[in-house]
Every structure is written in C-alpha cells, then in structure tokens.
Amino acid sequence: MGTPVSPGRHIVQDFASAAAAGLAYAAVVSRPSDIPVAGFAAPLAPGHAAARGLPYGLCAAVAIVVVTAARLAWLAVQPADLYPDEAQYWLWAQTPALGYYSKPPLVAWIIAATAALLGEGEFGIRAAAPLLHAAAAGFVYAAAARLYDRRTGFWSALAYASMPGVSLSAFLISTDAVLLPCWAAALFAFIRAREPGGGGWWFAVGIAAGLGLLAKYAMAYWLLSALGFLLLVRGERRNLPAFVGAAALALAIYAPNAWWNWTHGFVSYRHVGDNAHLAGALFHPRAFAEFFLSQFGVFGPVLFALLLAVASHPRVLAEPRSRLLAVFSLPTLAMMLGVSLLSRAQPNWAAPAYVSASILVVAWALGRRRRAIVIAAIGLNFAAAVAVFGGRDALAAAGIAVPAKYDPLHRLRGWRELGQQVAAQLRAYPGLKLLADDRELIAALVYYVRPHPFDAVLWSVIPGVKDQWQLTNNIAGHIGEDFLAVTQHGLMPELQARFGELMPLTSIDIVSGPAGGRRYTLYIARDYRGEPADRR
C-alpha cells in the first residue's frame, strides 16, 4: 500500500502543472513584436501575425482564473492556522467601525463580508485575498495593454500574479491584499484619464484612490507620485485641475476614517510614525542591506534584477511610457530603502512599487527581444511559491521532518492547539477572564479559544495605549477582577506586583518542527490592583 498523499500536495502539483503548461503554451504561440521603441515593446500593428493569431486578453483571463482557482483550492485544504494579524483583523470585523488603532477599516469590512458568506473558518476569513490579487492582475493587464499592447499586458499580468510577495499575500488576508488592487485600478484609470476624451476617468481615479486610503495609508504614495508626475512633466500639467478634483474625491471617500482618528486622538497616524522608529540612531546599514536583499524575494530574483537594470539606464527612463511607470514605482522603492537605512522597513512596505514595475520590466525585456527571461522569471516565481507552500508537506510525505527555522510558515502553526488547551483551562476554572501579555498571542487566542472570549484583556509592561486592545478594553477598567493569564515573555515579577494573588498553573509547549517551538506559562491571577500609577 502506497504512502498517503495529502490533498494539499495534489493542489500544489496541479498548480505547478497549470503554471508550467500556461508558460509553455505562451512561449510557443507568442511572437516578437515590431522594432522596439527606446528599448521597449512597440504596440503590435493590427496586421501583425501575433496580433491576429493570439487572443492575449483571453489568455490573460484564463491564466488569472487558473492561478486564482488554484490558490482558492489550496486555501480550502491547507492546514495552516490564522496568522495573529489575520485573527486581529477578524476580531475587528466583529464590530465594523470607521477605523482601528493601527489600520484603516477596509480590511475588516471585507472580512466581515466574506465571513458572513463563507463562515468564520480560516477559508472564509482569507477567501478575499486571492480574489483581490486577481483583480489587481486584471488591472495590470489593462494598464499594460493600454500603454503598449495585449502581449505586454499578458506577460505583465503573469509577472504580477507570480510575484512571491503576491503569492504569500494571496494566502493571508492583509492590508496589502486590499491595497494593491486599488493601486492598480488607480494606475489604469490615471492612464485612461490622460487620454483625449478621458475626462470621466478622473472619477475612477478618485474612487480607486479613496478606497486605497481606506485600505492602507500607503496609498498616499500613489497620490504623491501622480502629483509629482503631473508637475514635473510639462505636457502633463494641463491635467492638474482634473487631478485635484480626483484627489478631492479620494479624500472625501477617506474622510470617515480621518474623522475617526480625530475623535480618537489620531492614534492611527501616531502609530504610523512609531512604526518608522526614527527617534533613535539614524544609520542602520545592516537593516538597509537586509531590506534590499528582501526585495529579490518580494518581486522575484529575476524581476528585481531587471528593475535594477532599468533604473540604471536614464535613457530608458526618458521614454514617456516608462517614465510614467517609473514614477509610480521607483520613488516608493527609494523611500522605503531610505527608511530602512534610517531605521527599519518591513519587506512588504515596498510592495505597491511592483504594480507598475511589473509592466516596466516586462515591456523593457520584450522590447529587447528577451521574452525567454520573462518566462524564466515567472516560472521561477511560481516554482518558489510551490516550494514555500507545498515543500514541507511533500518532504513530510517522504518521511523528512523540516526544522522550524527552515519552515517559512512556522509562525502559522500551533495556534489552534494552543487555543484548545487554553480553552480547557478556562473550562476548568470558570469565572476567570482571559489575559495575555502579547498582542499577537491574545489575537490568536480570541479566535481559537471556543467559545470566543471577546472580553479578553491585554496586559503590557509598557504604559499607554499601544494597540486596539488597550484602546477598546483597557485593563485599567478591570480593577479587582480575576484572570487566567497566558504569558509568553516570562514577566512573573511584574505580574505579581499588580495582582493580589498569582498562582502558577501549568506550561504549554507548542512544537512547530524539530528543535522549534514556543512555551507559554499559565497563571491564575486574582484581584487586579491596577498599575502603580493607578494606585497613587
């Protein structure tokens, strides 16, 4: 009898086969375009053989549908638990609001909608992510086809869909998954609005930009890039009044979150500033190097190398279409590189730059008759996605255990098990509220402990309001209450100073692979006395 094969492994194999087949088909049927203009793909003439023989729009649609269907199927069968940030967004979705401590509200609204339709399991919470990236890929195709031709649109859409950062983001519901389709839609609408007779498209620019601001504040980079393009390119200045109108519409759509921030002490804006960590030493070459190298993983090693090659050629960037695309890519990337040098930057912070960069590098490669490089880049990216999401299961089926430090998804494992053990302790000691000493820990516990302990409390040694928990259910309002404390940071002396009684209960070890795991210590903490400042 053969070794059982997990359903997830079948999905990975089907995904790899579909991607390989699509790439092979495109490589056979596509043909080089006409003589390139300034190193970029020229539009295919109506009589060109490739223009007549291949419906690139249909091919792009089929490719996007196949990739998205594979991602949805994988979400339906894979066993990975929610990442704590996902659990936090799900909790926000229980009480839809106009804003939250660290993020604008659109991600929570979307989760509320998908969970209402599909249930509150991991699939129902994450289902929107691959669909949103499919929409973004569609807008990338449309923008590239409008600027160049449908062939460039096809390869650009595949380049975007294959990005390792997109593959990961399509697996986890996040603000990036919501932001990127807004960014891509705004780019396409901006291209259309600048055309003769395209005035109505400025409304679409405003709507897309406004929704983007409700998704993530990084959409402001798009508005600044568009403004800079219109100011710096003399022939584009005629569009400034229309753009101002579109920006006003975007701000009107975003206004509810601005009002929420105003009524909550501008906590979200202050959190963005805190994230930058610009108050300390302002020179971190190691952080800069780490962020720079991480971008080969976000965009893909070949695509990022191509982007660097394009950025190093001023003559190429002087071509009008490439200049437009570069304005929506390179300044954002340069800004994040600067932030990483001055403080730190997360790898995904530059992700919006790669929407237009996907078109930029594909057009450049096709114009230099380097279609094989594009095919190799896309194939390598899809292969990396298969390895990340299916490699551990495939090795496990072969009897090989992957150490936790080599498992890219190890932080998604063990939360369900932890929640079940904590739930058992809460049942054993009725009347205790759940308390945790870590934001990610409490988010995961609220989701995985059943019934959900929505009244759970976060305790921190750092004074002040630092997250949504402290904003909406501050422990200062629980004087005299008793808790089941789940701790991750070993802060028993600090806890003892704040409770009348602290009794050690048990420890829970969560193993995420050979030589990898997390230990949590549980206490019964009675009679919360408040922080020292509260007792004076």
Task: Please state the rounded mean pLDDT for residues 228-233.
Answer: 94
Per residue in 382-414, pLDDT (tens digit) is 999 888 887 777 776 777 777 766 677 778 888
- Give ∠ CA 107-485-419 in degrees, rounded to 5: 55
Confidence class for position 344, pLDDT limits 50, 70, 90: confident
Lowest mean pLDDT among 188-192, 306-310, 393-397, 433-437: 393-397
Max mean pLDDT among 350-354, 435-439, 487-491 falls in 350-354
* Paired residues of 420 in beta bridges: none
Among 205, 208, 213, smallest CA distance to 107 is for: 213
Please give the pLDDT value at position 411: 81
How many beta carbons lie within 10 A of that of residue 96, not counting itself?
Answer: 12
| Cα 213 to Cα 183: distance, rounded to the nearest angstrom | 10
Query: Residue type at 489?
Result: H
Percent of the chain's residues with pLDDT above 90: 65
The DSSP H or E segment spanning 68 is helix 56-77
Confidence class for position 221, pLDDT limits 50, 70, 90: very high
Please give the pLDDT value at position 382: 94
Task: Please state the rounded mean pLDDT for residues 467-473.
Answer: 78
Q: Is the pLDDT of residue 209 over 70?
A: yes
Distances from the Cα of 399 to the Cα of 383, 394, 395, angstroms: 22, 9, 6
Among 317, 328, 320, smallest CA distance to 353 is for: 328
As a whole number, the mean pLDDT across the chain is 85
Q: Which residue has the tokens 């072969």?
A: 398
Confidence class for position 280, pLDDT limits 50, 70, 90: low
CB within 8 Å of 477: residues ≥ 6 apart: none
Query: 11-28 b/e with 16+ CB inside 10 Å = b?
Result: bbeebbebbeebbeebee
Per residue in 105-153, pLDDT (tens digit) is 999 999 999 999 999 999 999 999 999 999 999 999 999 999 999 999 9
- Please, are residues 78 and 8 in contact by the beta-carbon 8 Å criterion? yes
Instruction: List the beta strands (DSSP E) in 426-515.
Output: 433-436, 457-458, 483-487, 499-513
Confidence class for position 294, pLDDT limits 50, 70, 90: very high
Q: Give the start-to-end residue ranges of the domains of the chain.
A: 8-391, 414-535
- Please, are residues 412 and 83 in contact by the beta-carbon 8 Å criterion? yes
| Peptide bond connecting 451 to the previous residue in cis, omega within 30 degrees of 0 | yes
Query: Residue type at 319?
Result: E
Confidence class for position 319, pLDDT limits 50, 70, 90: very high
Please give the pLDDT value at position 52: 45
Q: Is the pLDDT of residue 38 over 50?
A: no
| Cα 132 to Cα 125: distance, rounded to the nearest angstrom | 13
Lateral strand order in the sheet of 433-436: 457-458, 433-436, 483-487, 516-528, 499-513
The DSSP H or E segment spanning 519 is strand 516-528
Please give the pLDDT value at position 36: 38
Distances from the Cα of 321 to the Cα of 107, 146, 191, 344, angstroms: 32, 10, 10, 32
